[in-house]
Structure 1
Amino acid sequence: MSKRAHSDADRRRSLVAGTVGNLVEWFDWSVYGFFVPYFAASFFPVEDRAARILAAFAVFAVGFFFRPLGGAILGSYADRRGRRAGMTLTILLMAGASALIAVLPTYAQIGVAAPLLLTLARCVQGFSAGGEFGTSSAFLVENAPPGRRAWAGSWQQVSVGAGTLLASLLASVMFSVGTEEFLTSWGWRIAFGIGAVLGLLGLWLRMAVPDTEAFTRVKDAGRVARRPLTEVLREHPRAALRVIGLVAAGTALVQFWFVSLPSVLNLKTGVEIKDAQVAAMLGLALFTILQPVSGRLSDRFGRRPLLLFFAIGSALTFIPLMSTVGQTMSSVLVAVSVSAVLLAAYAGSLAAVMAEQFPPEVRTAGISLPYGIAVAVFGGLAPVLATATVQAGRFWVFEGVMVALCVASALVYRRMRETRDDRWHKAPRPADERVSDPA
């Protein structure tokens, strides 16, 4: 086998390992959001059902706020020790936390320790997810064939969508065939247990592939950053802020449409959770399928056109779509499907455009920390704000916030430099040459 053929084979195996491993991570992460209505009472024994769900989503949000910490620590770890080492650690943390939740005693059994341990487990998952996104994004994009960085990077978001979709499918099946008693007693535990077992598959795949050539070149040249995060904040502050703007609207809408929508709509319109869950799952499937197509379009036409299509389209359609949602599954499906098309344009470019902001020495830390901040603030609070405004009878506040986020992200996309044709840092720079912001 030629060196070139061997390199191509390694690249394909790495793309598969990165994608499947990331799928498992996001299955574990997403199970929580789907099963909130059924385990909330086990940890928050208050009379009002909406209050229980709100409390459980508050823990959901707390997990998001540990993502910046995970991004800072685990992203720096991956820049120092390698992408594969970073991804191995993140999947161990995520699967371990799922196993803890699966066997966690209830409030009736151990009192206030139950919600505290639930919060701890969710914080560990948030910490893991914060490091996972930047590390797997760098891993996939650095393994991309020439001229196909967005396409390769889109598989990061495909795996996020597929993992969430698999969790959604599991939830839909269990909601349809399981009784209320089963789901609130053991059903949700089984879902978390499945996530823990799947983590072993992801771990095996990640340990079987080599690290990326980009990191290997940096390591061989003695250019591994001793303090990657410090270097990002000192040398690339504009790029880090740009990542936050790139992500803000997209992460909020993804969490709303594909994770919290069934619970929110059940409170808002009375639609059956199982019907809304099926509609959200089908929209998520469409979102996932379209992302490689979006990645190819991004490689051909550029990052900015796809991102602007998402932001402007979402700003114009969010309120009209929500006004059409009623108590039927078909009305929910139409709204989710339109949003899925728009969000796919965002997700297909995301990993590549973020990776293109930073050189390989600090790429994972550069992506992970600002991405984690954006997801914590905008993605983590979106379900809480949606639920709280529904409960208060002021859902229009949430709608206004979503439109404002889309407009803000559109301004970031419009002002940023197109990076499709940027050349990668093929060789590490001399040791006495400072890293400059590629933007």
Structure 2
Amino acid sequence: MSIPSTQPSSARRRQTIVATTIGNGLEFFDFTVYGFLALVIGKLFFPTFNSYGQLLLTVASFGVGFVMRPLGGIVIGAYADRAGRKKAMTLTIFLMALGCALIAFTPTYAAIGVAAPIVIVLARLIQGFSAGGEVGASTTLLVEHATPANRGYMASWQFASQGLGVMLGAIVVGALTFSLTPEAMQSWGWRVPFIIGMLIAPVGMYIRRHLEESLHISPEQAAAPRESSLKIVCTQHGKTVLAAILAIVGGTTAAYVVTFYMPTYAVRELGLTPSVALFGAALTGLLSFALAPFVGKLSDIVGRKTLIFWSRIVMAILIYPGFLWLNASPTPLVLFVVLGVFSVGLVVQTVPGITMLPEMFPKRVRASGMSLVYSVGVALFGGFAPFISTWLVNATGSKLAPAWYLVAMTVISLFGLIWLRDHTGRDIDAADAHAPA
């Protein structure tokens, strides 16, 4: 059921924010709890390896989900540009729930042997395909319900909803870890978050029935043959795509190191308890959820590129001292302070970054362009960031190696930012909005 068009635009925007935030938050809950359960899943599905091998294979299977993101972004992004944002977002919810169900009910390696990790990898591929289309469709919908003066605020709810999903995932896994014995957690407790995640299908689909479509296609337009949206994006906006992928390297690497690798790092390298590590992850989710709308409003005032540039400079300066302090004094308080500072820097650079992506493309290919850039950037640099960080610690013998990796990616991303046009305050649907700079 769509919202009546006679309602005030502000009311429609509020309902769009609520529906998108809840639905997207549920999606990210499903996708991210796997990362919080890396140590448990490693023991159950990769038992023939030593503890390092188990962890490496588990974070690799976490990263495998990102391999399918570009394909999901291309396919679902094109579907969103052809059939509408709303239908694409409903499809992603169903696929994410399917992946959760596979993980929740797959027997362990002890029961079915090598088939167990194969099914887990298949489930992660399905979830990655879903996530690749979800971000593009939902962010595009938010941006298209905004005015030129509040697009940053509207798009900020995409990142806020990611923080909500991460926070809920960390709380659920943390509560189970704290209340269950290690034996119970390995026996059945680890399955509970994925069973909860299956609720995304009925809840998310119900919520999204009330969204108003932002792409209006006439019957004549729907029946007419049209050129591939992927072809249009790559041939007419190829330079923008390449620059944008490079520009999001810093934000996506920081997101997956800070949010998903740090809890494992805190337990394995610093000797902190899983409950403390998961509380730290919940803190990052809370800060993302709470601060994102304010940063979005700020980006509408000062501009996207200004916020991204200076936040990354500050982040690059603080990363190494933060890791150094954490290793010198591995206490819960220090962990929370370091994660808190990193999380603020992450929000300030990511919110304007995720707003810029759909602003770069014309409406007819906006979801496709946004999905392609985001999913490729996250697949190449974000999803495997925990894997690379784990490998670097083992290969170099230095617990500070992830800091240097994160600094390098943050600095490199600044070069892509230089080539992007800032559309803050402009009408992105104007005829000349996306002409070559």
Give the TM-score of the pair, scaled to structure 1.
0.93
Contact 1:235 1:436 in 2 (8 A): no
Q: Give, in whole Å, the separation in 2 of the partners of 1:403 and 1:412.
A: 15
Match of 1:75 among 65, 74, 77: 77
How far off its partner does 1:422 sit? 2.0
Match of 1:15 among 8, 14, 17: 17
Please give the per-residue CA displacement for 1:43-83, whole angstroms capped at 9, x wherever unaligned: 11125222211111110111111101111111111111100
Q: Give, in whole Å, the separation in 2 of the partners of 1:59 and 1:48.
A: 16
Match of residue 355 from structure 1: 358
Match of residue 216 from structure 1: 216
Aligned-residue sequence identity (percent) comes to 36
Please give the per-residue CA displacement for 1:2-38, whole angstroms capped at 9, x wherever unaligned: 9664444333222221111101100000110011111
Contact 1:309 1:342 in 2 (8 A): no
Q: Give, in whole Å, the separation in 1 of the partners of 2:288 and 2:436.
A: 31
Match of residue 321 from structure 1: 322
Q: Which amino acid aligns with 2:130?
A: S
Q: Give, in whole Å, the separation in 2 of the partners of 1:205 and 1:320.
A: 44
Give the TM-score of the pair, scaled to structure 2.
0.93
Match of 1:202 among 201, 204, 211: 204
Match of residue 137 from structure 2: 135
How far off its partner does 1:130 sit? 0.4
Instruction: State whether structure 2 residue 412 is matched by structure 1 residue 411.
Output: no
Secondary structure in 2 matching 1:216: coil
Match of residue 100 from structure 1: 102
Secondary structure in 2 matching 1:364: helix
Q: Which amino acid aligns with 1:227?
A: S
Match of residue 422 from structure 1: 426
Stretch of structure 1 that moved more, 129-138 or 384-393: 384-393
- Structure 2 residue runs of 5 or longer lacking an equivalent are none
Superposition map of 1:32-111 within 5 A: 32-111=34-113
Stretch of structure 1 that moved more, 241-250 or 58-67: 241-250
Q: Which amino acid aligns with 1:95?
A: A
Q: Which amino acid aligns with 1:49?
A: S
Q: Give, in whole Å, the separation in 2 of the partners of 1:87 and 1:43.
A: 31
Stretch of structure 1 that moved more, 154-163 or 217-226: 217-226
Stretch of structure 1 that moved more, 385-394 or 410-419: 410-419
Match of residue 230 from structure 1: 231
Stretch of structure 1 that moved more, 150-159 or 287-296: 287-296
Q: Which amino acid aligns with 1:331?
A: V
Match of 2:406 among 380, 402, 409: 402
Instruction: State whether structure 2 residue 372 is matched by structure 1 residue 369.
Output: yes
Q: What is the total number of aligned residue pairs between the two structures?
A: 431
How far off its partner does 1:145 sit? 4.0
Please give the per-residue CA displacement for 1:347-374, whole angstroms capped at 9, x wherever unaligned: 2213321111000100011011121111
Instruction: State whether structure 2 residue 124 is matched by structure 1 residue 122.
Output: yes
Q: 1:12 to 1:217 in 2, by over 3 A?
A: farther
Superposition map of 1:371-390 within 5 A: 371-390=374-393
Q: Give, in whole Å, the separation in 2 of the partners of 1:234 and 1:361.
A: 14
- Structure 1 residue runs of 5 or longer lacking an equivalent are none
Match of residue 281 from structure 1: 282
Q: 1:417 to 1:145 in 2, by over 3 A?
A: closer
Q: 1:3 to 1:255 in 2, by over 3 A?
A: closer
Contact 1:224 1:361 in 2 (8 A): no
